[in-house]
Structure 1
Amino acid sequence: MTEENRLREKVCLLAKSMFDRGLTGGSTGNMSLRLPDGGLLMTPTGASLGRLDPARLARFDAHGKHIGGDKPTKEHPLHTAFYDTRSTAGAVIHLHSCYSVALSTMSGLDPDNFLPPITPYAIMQLGKVRLLPFFRPGDPAMGEAVRGLAGKRSAVMLANHGPVVAAKDVEAAGNAIEELEATARLTLLTRGMNPRLLTEAQIRDVVTTFNVEWDT
């Protein structure tokens, strides 16, 4: 099996795992990864993450030209915005996960730091998550909003839509976006209960120990 075929199988396996566990439903959500030759693999438009065919993933060359597979997700400008602005991005995942979307509709959120510091794990894997405004699905303005962050964030939350996470590889991106959803769920479960959050000193200790991008 070639390295590209191995990566195609990995994308489909992770996508099905997320779909089967209810992290995104129907034909929602999309994924991409950077190939060793500088090209991209991307999930097709209108495809269910639970029923992907490795051979039909959209294939782009290193110059961004679509050279094979099905038509890519309409959110491909969102994906390429991360690759173009973050040199460390090896994969991007966008889901329509229930708890994070629900949290994004609430008032009183900090747009610069969408998730409250309930546990250290979202801090470690995501840094600060920027809450972006609502955009029509497929609107290229989503990509422009990510470009406007100049590569300083690895994760954003699209209000009333869903989270997007970039990481070094598809497994790390999957772990990070699942942590985002878990933290959103904890936030909603404890909303209005005055939960004890991590202190500034505890946050700084986590940021320093795990070399987290935080002060950007």
Structure 2
Amino acid sequence: MSTILSEATRLRDQIASVGKSLFDRGLTFGSTGNISARLSNGEILMTPTNISLGSLEPARLSRFSAEGVHIDGDKPTKEAFLHQCMYCQRQHAGAVVHLHSTYSVAVSILDGVDPDDVLPPLTAYYVMRVGSLPLVPYFPPGDKALAAAVAEKAGHSHAVLLANHGPVVAGKTLLDAQYATEELEETAKLFLLLEGRNTKPLTPAEAGALRARTQRDSA
């Protein structure tokens, strides 16, 4: 029991630290976005509703049972189901980050993107940290039908982009999820900066080799 409490304390502090870092750097704003982390006993800690990620109080984070029931802490975000369906599909995920970050949202609004993989492999780090980025069709905020749509895409990718909404990214650790989300945002920014210009993304062979190496390193 003391081990779980120690783990929970560490993760609570880390969630607050990551939230402040994301907020201070303009990757989230107002009370948008949410972060969660999964304990070794399956319980989930999550940022509450209507709270700025820049001013989180570790002790007030929402806590869910392994079965997804709110146990204690402040009222959970209405987007808690997004995190829970990511964990269901990504068995090794230890954390999920969901933001309304500007460039990623901008790309999610563009017409004509590839719904199976929204962004091209512009950099090696994007391929290694994000891989592929399927687009989930638009649903109103809080619509539970979004869960099924996210679950379908999350079975094949640890990062998804919600149309007219923003990215949801799972990682083995909270830092993994944070770094992947940041890499996604920077690649979305590059994509928009380069729009209309001739570009040379990584070739399918180059991207495939990076994905294979990433899979070997994480095995």
TM-score by length of 2: 0.93
1:195 — aligned with what?
199
- d(CA) in 2 for partners of 1:20 and 1:118? 26
Give the distance between the partners of 1:97 and 1:29, measured in 2 at CA: 8
Identical-pair percentage: 54
Matched, 1:160 2:146: no
- Give distance in 2, aligned partners of 1:71 and 1:40: 14
* Contact 2:137-2:149 at 8 Å conserved across structures: no
Q: In the TM superposition, what is the alpha-carbon distance from 1:146 to its structure 2 partner? A: 1.6
Question: How well do the aligned residues superpose, as a CA RMSD in angstroms?
Answer: 1.3
- Paired with 1:170 and 1:19, the residues of 2 have a C-alpha distance of 16
With normalisation by structure 1, the TM-score equals: 0.94
User: Contact conserved, 1:121 with 1:179, CA < 8 A, in 2?
Assistant: yes
Aligned equivalent of 1:19, options 19, 23, 28: 23
Structure 1 match to 2:88 = 84
How many residues in Structure 1 have an aligned counterpart in Structure 2? 212
* Cα distance in 1 for residues equivalent to 2:169 and 2:74: 23
Q: Which amino acid aligns with 1:141?
A: A
Which residue in 1 is equivalent to 2:102? 98
- Where does 1:66-215 land on structure 2 (aligned, <5 Å)? 66-149=70-153, 151-211=155-215
Report if the CA contact (8 A) 1:79-1:143 is conserved: no
Give the letter aligned to residue 93 of structure 1: V
Q: What is aligned with 2:51?
A: 47
| Match in the other structure for 1:8 | 12
Shift of the alpha carbon at 1:83? 0.8
SS of the residue 2:92 aligns to: coil
Contact preservation (8 Å) 2:154, 2:160: no
- 3-state DSSP of counterpart to 2:153: coil
Which residue identity is paired with 2:150?
V
Question: What stretches of structure 2 of length at least 5 have no aligned partner?
Answer: none
Which SS does the other structure have where 1:128 is aligned?
coil
Shift of 1:115: 1.0
Q: Deviations over 1:34-63 (max 9, x none)?
A: 012210001101110001110110011222
Q: Distance in 2 between matches of 1:175 and 1:184?
A: 14
Match in the other structure for 1:58: 62
Which has more helix, going by share of residues? 2
1:150 deviates by: 6.1
